[in-house]
Each structure stands twice: as C-alpha cells, then as structure tokens.
Chains A and B, each alone.
Chain A
C-alpha cells in the first residue's frame, strides 16, 4: 500500500498536477465562500476545463474543488451568518456567535485546523478501506451491480431533499431522460427525434450545469440585494490551549461521523455536519450552551463536512456509485475521460486511485495555508457585485458547455435544464437524483439486460444471489422507511 501511495505522491508532485491541485482548491475555496454557488455547481461548471487534461489531473482538480468548497464555506458562516454552501449551515449557529463575541479569528482558526485534521484522517480512512472493499466488490456480477446501483439511487432519493415523493419523482425523471438516445444493445433511437446531438443521449455536462449552476444564478438574479462584505480586521487565528482542549475530541468524533456517513451513498456533507453537531450537543455536559458561540459547535460540523469528502470517494471510486450530486458530477467527468469507476479501477488503474488519494493530502495542506493567513482575502470575495458574477458564471457555463461537442444544441439543453432546475428548487424537488440517475441509467440498463440474459429472462437471479438480494432488501427498506415511520407515529398517537 505504501509503495502505491509513494508512487501516487510522485505523480502528484509533477508541476502540472500540483498546479491543478492548487487551482482546484483555490477555486473550491472561492466557490465555498460565495453564497449561492455550491460545490456541485462549481464542479459541473469546470468539467469542460478538464477536457484537454489527462484523467488523473482532471480528477485531482475536481476533487480539489469539492473539498476546497468545504473549507471556504465556513468563512462566510462565521463572519456573516451566511453559509457559503449547505454543509456549512451548522457552523453558522456557534461560529457567528463566536464572531459576535469578538472571537471570529479563533472560530476561523479551529475551523481550518479541524478541517485539515479531519480531511487528512478521511484520506487515511479512504486509503485503508478502499482496497479491501474493492477486492470484495470485484466478485460482483451484473445482478449485484444492478442491485448496487438501485441501492445507491434509493439511498440518495430517500436522504436528499424534503419529501420522499418529490425525490422519487426527480429520480424517475432522471432515469427517463437517461434513456434518451440510441439504445446501446439494439441501436434503436429513443426520444431523439432525429436530432443528431441526442443520439448519444443527453450530455451530463449540459444537464448538470443547467440544473445546478444556471438555476443557482437565476436564483441569485431574483434577489435585488446582495449581502454586505465583511470589513472588520480578523486577528488571533490560532486557537489557545483551552480552545484546543475543548475542540480536539469534537474534531475526531466529527471526522469519524463525516467519513462513515458519507462512505454510504446518500448522506452528503450536510447530513454529516448535522449529525456531528447533534452528537456533540447530546454528549455535552452543557447542551444549553450550543448556539451561544462555543468552539465545539464549530469544530465538530467543520470536521464532519471535510471528512465527508474522503468518505464520498469510497462509493464513487470503489463501487462506481456516486453518493451525492458532486460525486455524480465527478463520476460523469471520469466517464468522459474514459475511466469507469468501480472495483476494476483498482486493478486497471491503481496509479490513478493513489495519485488522487495523495493529491488529497497535499490539497489539505494547501488549503490550510490558503485559509489561515489569507482568510481576509476570501472574506473580501463577497465584494464582487452580483451584476458581474452572474454574467461571468453564465458565460463560463455557456462557453464551457459549447466545448463539450462544439455544438450550440448543448447550450440550449443547458438553458432548458437551468429553467427546470430553477423551478425544481422553488418547489422543493432535489436535483441530485436527476443527475445521478442520468449517469447511472445506461450502466443500470446494461446490467439489467446482462443479468436477464444470464438467467434466461428470469428475474429470480436478483433474489437467489445473496449479495444482490441483500442490496435490494436494503434498497427496499430505504424506500419504505418513511412509510414505516409514518405508520409508527400514527399507531403511537392512537
């Protein structure tokens, strides 16, 4: 393992990979700082930038954006009570209160250091867990793959968003649009109506940029006011002895919660940070102090949302099932670069996996350096007027999407999905299941067809193989759990 890791480090320290790792974490920090533009939108928008790169460099950069956004998100939460991205919501509760008491520096400091510790631990976890899991998953055949993808989708649907019905509609819609184009087995066209661009199916770049970036920009355009920039001086960034004493265990617990929560598809960084905050409050001797500006309330959720990024790489790289919107975008990017995430990735491209893992160690160090001394610069990013930010994001998205196939039809598709995404946000439909389903549908359909060929058209193949049966049962449970909860509450009332 260590030989592989050293080889990974050697790959990462090439000037190109270091540059793009730095570029990724810097852009990620900016995305995290700017309210409205989340990591999914940022990653989707920058996928076209990776077309000329080799897959390793591309994923090093995209992963950098992902965990960089987690670092950046805390800055505006602490300074302005404004979460830069959804996973930083919990940091607002105590972080902002600390700022109000004149301890913004300590909150930012513990957030950056806690993020660094948790991020590094999660990479360690990824390094230790991924190889044995891949070894186990290599035995999977088409029925197990079909069951695994079904499970991934149902978990994302049941855990993301406010309503199971809306999540299911989003997932079904994603599967439906995932069938557009030529059927890979028969070559028969489905819903492409003679439009050549649609023969290969809807490009995930156009759809994800539309659903995440354009919809967010439209929401930004809707509001006439913009939050004021933070102008006070930030000092005393290094936590004192007492801060350390109170934060170290919340950081370690947050790291464990974030990593394991996100190693399972569905629970994203937001859920992880909420879980970490709730755990600290529950085990604290003074739970009433949470929300009044205590350092544990900053350390735990920040550690959790950073550890989540390492955890999220497990289902993505080892099983080929992305567990969140950002992971889905990264999987799409990998597929564009001709890499199929899954257990075979370890066998065929171990250099790729270890280089990405090593880049996460280096990226975390870069982020610590970027986020501690330069925090004032990031806080000033909020001075960028929306009047410039909005056309800039729209133009980058449009030109970027155009470069997918050098075709304006892609830009039209992006605009259409931007409008759809805007209304989905308004009515509370989650967008992540749509992109996840769009990417997984062709693979899932293929696995289903292969499974049925193996069993001479009998669906019993899914129920006679223990792994696929177990996975399908968990998928069913995840879908039925809200109904069971509802019935249980109803029975309890009567």
Chain B
C-alpha cells in the first residue's frame, strides 16, 4: 500500500505539472473578471503542493497507511480482466451494435466470474440483454448503437 500511495503522489505531482503548463498557455487576464486560467492554474498549483505534502508525510512515516496489499490474492487479475472485457464491449458496441455486443459481454463476464455451465450462461446473457433492451429501447425510447449488423 505504501509504494502505491507514493506512486499516486508522484502521479498527482505530474498532473499538477501538466495543469500548470497547460494553464499557463491560456489567456491569464481578461478585461473584466478573473482570467480563464485562474481556476485551473491555482488548482494545479494546489494539487502539486498537497501531493508533495502527502509524499513527505509518507516518506517520514507520518501518514497512516494500512499494512495490507492493494488487492487480495488474484484480485488484480480479476479486476484487469473485467476492465478488459468492458473495454472490448465499448469497442464492439460501436462496430456490431447493442444486441450482439451486450450478449457477448454478459456471456464473457458471467463465464469468467461465475464459471457456470455454458447453457445457463447463454440463457442468462440472452435474458439480461433483452431485459436492458426492453428498458432502454422500448420503454425509455433511447437510441442504442446499431453497428453494421443493424441491431
């Protein structure tokens, strides 16, 4: 956890630096009122200072850090896989449309997390896909991505 928090502090200092550089490019003063760079610039400086305070606190041992790993054993693998499946879903939904991509998304996630029987998984995935379709498309009349398959 300690190493992770150190990395987070350094990342925040990087974000602060990015914010300072980008905000400096914006027009800083206007004829009336504060400049458009005032908020982003002051917040970037603030994030940088606070991240430095946090980093010093961690290094000096003044910040309370839980003595436990960031993830439980095997947890990181499960999180990364779920994110990867979601990523694939977002890419696929535009390409092949809502119906097939949502069905595939459900099937892949249920199979990965549940390790259940194939037929049960396929039936559950189909039911969930139609359930969401009924809510969003039929009831709420929201347009859903159709992709080249038109569904």
Interface residues of A (CB under 8 A from B): 48-49, 51-52, 162-163, 165-166, 168-169, 172-173, 175-176, 178-179, 183, 185-186, 188, 190-191, 217-218, 221-224, 385-388, 390-392, 394-396, 398-400, 402-403, 406, 408, 411-412, 415, 418-419, 422-423, 426-427, 441, 445, 448-450, 452-453, 457
Known A-B contacts A175-B39, A176-B43; the reply to A411 vs B90 at CB < 8 A is yes
> Taking chain A's interface residues, is the majority helix, strand, or loop, or is none over half, making it mixed?
helix
Interface residues on B, range: 35 or more
Query: Which of A186, A387, A406, A422 has the most B CB atoms < 10 Å from its CB?
Result: A387
Residues A427 and B8 in contact, CB atoms below 8 Å apart:
yes
Residues on B with C-beta less than 8 A from A169 are 12, 47, 50-51, 54
Per a CB cutoff under 8 Å, which of A176, A394, A457 touches B40? A176
Question: B136 to chain A: closest CB distance in Å?
Answer: 5
Residues A390 and B75 in contact, CB atoms below 8 Å apart:
no
Cβ-based interface call for B150 (8 A): no
Residues on B with C-beta less than 8 A from A392 are 128
Per the bound structure, the CA–CA distance linking A223 and B115 in Å amounts to 15
Per a CB cutoff under 8 Å, which of A163, A218, A402, A403 touches B82? A218
Residues A415 and B86 in contact, CB atoms below 8 Å apart:
yes
Interface residues of B (CB under 8 A from A): 1, 4-5, 8, 12, 15, 19, 22, 26-27, 30, 32-34, 36, 39-40, 43-44, 46-47, 50-51, 53-54, 57, 63-64, 70-72, 74-76, 78-79, 82-83, 86-87, 89-90, 93-94, 98, 102, 105-106, 109-110, 113-116, 124, 128, 132, 135-136, 140-145
Residues on B with C-beta less than 8 A from A448 are 33-34
Known A-B contacts A169-B12, A190-B26; the reply to A388 vs B94 at CB < 8 A is no
Provide a sorted-by-A list of 24 A–B residue pairs whose CB atoms are within 8 angstroms: A162-B64, A165-B50, A165-B54, A172-B43, A179-B36, A185-B36, A188-B36, A217-B82, A221-B82, A222-B78, A387-B113, A391-B128, A394-B89, A394-B105, A398-B93, A402-B93, A403-B143, A411-B93, A415-B83, A418-B83, A426-B4, A445-B39, A449-B32, A449-B34
Residues on A with C-beta less than 8 A from B144 are 399, 402
Residues B54 and A166 in contact, CB atoms below 8 Å apart:
yes
Shortest beta-carbon contacts, A-B, top 9: A387-B114, A449-B33, A222-B75, A391-B109, A387-B113, A403-B142, A176-B43, A172-B46, A221-B82
